[in-house]
Copies of this chain bind each other. A is one copy, B any other.
Amino acid sequence: MNAFEVITDSTEALRASFRLHASGVSVITMIDEAGNPAGFTATSMTSLGANPPLASFNVASGSSSWPILCKAKYVAIHTLGDRNLELAGRMAADHTLRFTKSDWVRGPHDLPIFEDATSVMICEIREIHNVENNAVVIVNVLEGLVGEVGPALLYYQRHYMSPGKSLN
């Protein structure tokens, strides 16, 4: 244990660890009850098994998308490539400007689909577990759309990146 610096403040401990951890970047979209598009950038999206196909992501219950997500039945999970840098930034900034460009169309279940994403999973919301000021959302993957292949987009140390060279 000599090699480590101990951080006793639990929030600081989490922050210090996640500064050292990289994440893939996705964009999750849905529609509200009136059919208007909503969505956000997520770095928490991950697989929860392939058979049956399940995915999960985390969302803050203070976010602009949260009340819409709570009433939504379906979401579109977009995996992003390094060519989607602007989209990743836009979907994490002012929520009134997220769908003002003409880079999306309506897909299955009227979901907003960003056409330049590397892929999209059309998903049905299965469970939402509230945990303090956040929630874990679990979805069934129904079908997929695969776009133009390209290097994945990462988020690491407050910057977007693409993967480097393979180590193995």
Contact = CB atoms under 8 A, between A and B. Distances in A.
Interface SS of chain A: strand
Copies in the complex: 2
Contact of A136 (B6, B17, B122, B136): B136
Contact of A48 (B7, B24, B136, B140): B136
B168 A159 contact: yes
Interface stretch (A33-41, A64-72, A94-102, A141-149): A141-149
Most buried by B among A55, A118, A164, A165: A164
Interface string A132-168: 1110101011111111110111101001111111111
A60 B49 contact: yes
A85 interface: yes
Given A4-B146, A20-B119, A49-B58, 10 more contacts: A6-B143, A10-B142, A11-B50, A13-B122, A14-B47, A14-B50, A14-B53, A17-B141, A129-B129, A163-B164
Interface of A: 1, 3-18, 20-24, 26, 43-56, 58, 60, 77, 79, 81-82, 85, 89, 105, 107, 113, 115-116, 118-122, 126-127, 129, 131-134, 136, 138, 140-149, 151-154, 156, 159-168
Give the 7 A-B residue pairs with the shortest CB-CB distance, closest first: A13-B144, A14-B53, A4-B145, A164-B164, A7-B144, A44-B46, A22-B152
